[in-house]
Amino acid sequence: MGLTAGSEDPACQQAAYLELQRRNAAIQNGVAAWRNGDVGGLALARVELARLEATLAHPFWSEPLKATVDKTRTAAAGLSQALKDKDQARAEAAVRSLADAAYYVATAYYHYWLPSGVLLNTAVQEGVGASVGGHGDSHGGTATPAAQANPGPNWLVVGGFGLAIASVIAAAWVLKRSMAAGDAAETREEPVGV
Amino acid sequence: MKTLDRRGDGAATGLLAAEPAAIRAAPPRAETSVNLLRIPLVRRIFESRLYPAVLQLPTALVFAVVVWELLAGPVRAHDNFGTAMTWVIWWPLIPLFFLLLGRFWCAICPFATLSDAIQKVVGNNRPVPRFLKKYGIWIIDAAFVIITWADHVFGIVESPRGSGYLLLGLILGVVTIGSFFERRTWCRYLCFLGGLSGNYSRAGTLELRATPGKCAKCNVKACYKGNEKAPGCPMFEFPRTMETNAACNLCGYCVKSCPNNSIRISPRIATRELWSIRRPRFEESMLACVIMGVVFVQNITMLAIWQPILRWLEGALGTTAYAVTFTITFAVMMALPILALLVASFLADLSGRAGVVATFTAFGYALIPLDLAGHLAHNLFHFLAEGKSVVFTALALVGVRSSGSPALLDNATIQVLQYLLVLAGTVGSAYTAYRIAGSRTSGGARWPALLPIGALILVLGAVNLYLFYLPMAMRM
């Protein structure tokens, strides 16, 4: 099995998310220690940051998380440079950016990713899950056969609209016919009136 | 007979009575220097009997597939070709169409094609009701707001079925209006997108006008009434007196029917039409404010900060009912640009005394470039970050599985493009306000009138920039 096998699995993203938050906290501790004079804090921050970057790069992040993860990656790159330059002021600013980015990942995780997973789970249980477009960039990418089922149209609603449209067309046709008949009658009547 | 006056004499059918008042008293208008119809290929296209039908047909076919997919395809937006085509391709690209080609989309819109077809079969061709002419734009304003609200509360965009039912509802409206009323009454007076497109097309880079010198000698008015070559203007426009491209859909009927080759299609500087609106309308300025509010709502609800806001609202209101919390947010977002422009208009009017409402009406048009930029920037994200989903879902239609990121560009690049668009919109709005202030005042009165409006535009631009700085959720 290759190292990236299963990277599209939702469980992989879930694990990566937890790892992301853990490493982020560790990086903050490291930079804080460095600020307080502990040189070991810098080394710790560097190690944790390298692990964070590896974690960010591993799974195929699904759409609800992708945008925020991209921001986290950008923030991590900024911090990496600051740590490499041993620039404490820049590192502290970059840590704040990283914390902000991680916060947005958390928001996306809890409010978009997990709820949509619950929806999919419900759909699978009900046997009305989606068919698969196959682009596998969300937790639906590896949908079960049940999730691929397509319930088809709601014929009651579609039929209702169809009936309404047909009624309108019929009414317009009747009106047009009656108006045409009226016009003909007027034409016939005109000579009488004259 | 190809003319819209299908029953013969226009006077007998009331068509002449429906002529705009201006048809009898056209103001002179300077000729523009460039006429694209002088290019033989362009003229041949516009004069061809195949234009715009040759474009209407494929559009209608794609529309039919989209409707079917939305109603009968996968229930997850993520996998639905209809959702991808509608909300990732069409909706993001439509403002760009308006900017570059005015309301050209309206000439090939499947709803308009359907309306024309229905009219041919059962059309009663009755004159447009007076209340529609008077209040149609308010109906459009209201429909736009209601549809946006309904989208959030009932999840129309996220639900293929919801999108499908929306389209079915619109089809019912189009069929009803097309069956009873003449020309494209729906498109001109009721289409919710028509209000948006009208406003955006004013800022567009293309205009269709007649040549006053040639029209002065014309007494057939074929462009309005139609003749054997083409129907009369489906949008009830009379090119001789046209001052705006808000309704013209570049269908080319007037190019075909004009016996004097009077019609000109000219490129122009974006936003130019907004600089000197002769008869500004309050409802159009209101729509400009409403669109700004809609862009704010669309942005905020797709940002990560929306959930904390929602939680706070739920706590403050003591309810978790999304319909309640969202409706309050929505009302505030709609009201904010209106109130802000009212306050700015009050300040701008301190020196002029033209009246707050008149000032609001005049300067409302200055928001249109920023509206357009905000709308484009917001949807640019969906188009560029999710664009490939159309390919994936289209392939899935024929049973081909494909995988990969749906993004066409990386987020950082998209963000830079969004910033550039908002900056361009802010500059366009500020310059438009500058020109409007100049046309309404004399001497040194321009700056006192401009400053409050200019400050408002800068604030709205900055808010837009900030919103685009924050990470946004996807549609698919």
Global ipTM: 0.78
Instruction: Give how far A82 is from chain B: nearest CA, Å.
Output: 20
A168 contact B CB<8A: yes
Q: pLDDT tens digit string along B363-389?
A: 999 999 999 999 899 888 889 988 898
Instruction: Give how far A141 is from chain B: nearest CA, Å.
Output: 9
Instruction: Give how far A67 is from chain B: nearest CA, Å.
Output: 6
Q: pLDDT tens digit string along A118-159?
A: 444 443 333 333 333 333 333 233 333 434 446 778 888 889
Instruction: Give how far B303 is from chain A: nearest CA, Å.
Output: 9
Cross-strand bridge partners of residue B264: B209
CA B24/CA B354 separation, integer angstroms? 30
Q: pLDDT tens digit string along A163-175?
A: 999 999 999 999 9
Helix (H, G, I), strand (E, B) or coil at A182: helix
Beta carbons of B395 and A134 less than 8 Å apart = yes
CA torsion sign for B210, B274, B414, B86 is: negative
In this complex, the residue of B71, B171, B411 whose CB is nearest that of residue A67 is B411
Instruction: Pick B471 or B438 by higher pLDDT.
Output: B438
Interface test with A, best of B66, B68, B79 (most A CBs within 10 A): B79
Closest CA to B440 of B353, B372, B321: B353
In this predicted structure, what is the pLDDT of residue B318? 86
Is a pLDDT exceeding 80 seen at residue B33?
no
φ and ψ at B263, to 5 degrees?
-75, 140
**Preceding omega of B52 cis (within 30 degrees of 0):** yes
Measured in whole angstroms, the distance separating CA A169 from the mean position of its chain's CA atoms is 42
Is a pLDDT exceeding 80 seen at residue B437?
yes
Chain B positions touching A108 (Cβ under 8 A) are 304, 471, 473
In this complex, the residue of B123, B175, B473 whose CB is nearest that of residue A64 is B473
In this predicted structure, what is the pLDDT of residue B77? 83
* Average pLDDT across chain A, whole number: 73
Instruction: Give how far B133 is from chain A: nearest CA, Å.
Output: 22
Is a pLDDT exceeding 90 seen at residue B7?
no
In this complex, the residue of A103, A130, A161 whose CB is nearest that of residue B79 is A130
Q: What is the mean pLDDT of residues A104-128?
A: 59
Instruction: Give how far B181 is from chain A: nearest CA, Å.
Output: 10
Chain A positions touching B380 (Cβ under 8 A) are none
A146 contact B CB<8A: no
Interface contacts A/B by beta carbons within 8 Å: 144
Q: What is the mean pLDDT of residues B313-336?
A: 88
Beta carbons of B172 and A164 less than 8 Å apart = yes
CA A68/CA B416 separation, integer angstroms? 16
In this complex, the residue of A74, A138, A161 whose CB is nearest that of residue B78 is A138
Q: Which stretch of B117-131, B356-370, B439-453 has the lowest confidence by average pLDDT?
A: B439-453
In this predicted structure, what is the pLDDT of residue A66? 78
* Joined tokens for residue A131: 């068919």
- Highest mean pLDDT pick, A69-83, B178-192, B286-300: B178-192
CA B178/CA B281 separation, integer angstroms? 27
In this predicted structure, what is the pLDDT of residue A138? 31
Beta carbons of A161 and B308 less than 8 Å apart = no
CB B187 within 8 A of CB B234: yes
Cα dihedral A27, A28, A34, A39 in deg (nearest 10): -20
Kindly tell me the burial class for residue B466, based on how many C-beta atoms sit within 10 Å of its own C-beta (0-12, 13-18, 19 or more).
exposed
CB B224 within 8 A of CB B23: yes
Q: Search chain B and give the residue with CA nearest A164.
A: B172
Q: Search chain A and give the residue with CA nearest B397.
A: A133
CA torsion sign for B104, B108, B114, B118 is: positive
B124 contact A CB<8A: yes
Beta carbons of B124 and A176 less than 8 Å apart = yes
φ and ψ at B454, to 5 degrees?
-60, -40
Instruction: Pick A142 or B232 by higher pLDDT.
Output: B232
In this predicted structure, what is the pLDDT of residue B314? 84
CA A18/CA B263 separation, integer angstroms? 65
Is a pLDDT exceeding 90 seen at residue B128?
yes
CB A28 within 8 A of CB A99: yes
List, as ranges, residues 295-314 from B with C-beta within 8 Å of A: 304-305, 307-308
Beta carbons of A64 and B395 less than 8 Å apart = no
Chain A positions touching B172 (Cβ under 8 A) are 161, 164-165, 168
Element housing A190 (H / E):
helix A155-193
Q: pLDDT tens digit string along B280-298?
A: 999 889 989 988 888 888 8
Measure Cα distances from B112 to B105, B188, B211, B220 in Å: 10, 10, 28, 26
Residue B84 carries which DSSP code? I
A133 contact B CB<8A: yes
A138 contact B CB<8A: yes
Cα dihedral B423, B424, B427, B428 in deg (nearest 10): -150
- Amino acid type, B318: G
Give Cβ neighbours of residue B362 (< 8 Å, ≥ 6 apart).
B277, B280, B285, B354, B436, B440
Is a pLDDT exceeding 90 seen at residue B29?
no
- What secondary structure does DSSP assign to A129-140, as a single string? -----S---STT
Ordered alpha helix ranges (H), B102-208: 104-108, 110-122, 130-154, 160-180, 185, 192-202
A120 contact B CB<8A: yes
In this complex, the residue of B123, B304, B307 whose CB is nearest that of residue A68 is B304
Q: pLDDT tens digit string along B164-184?
A: 999 999 999 999 999 999 999
- pLDDT above 70 covers a percentage of chain B that reads 91
Q: Which stretch of B15-29, B110-124, B235-249, B436-450 has the lowest confidence by average pLDDT?
A: B15-29
| Buried-state track B334-371, b at ≥16 Cβ within 10 A, e below 16 | bebbbebbbebbebbbeebebebebbbbbbbbbbbbbb
Helices and strands of chain B, counted as H and E runs? 22, 2
Beta carbons of B472 and A173 less than 8 Å apart = no
Measure Cα distances from A142 to A112, B73, B378 in Å: 18, 18, 30
* Average pLDDT across chain B, whole number: 87
Instruction: Give how far B412 is from chain A: nearest CA, Å.
Output: 8
CA B120/CA B140 separation, integer angstroms? 26
Closest CA to B336 of B463, B154, B206, B218: B463
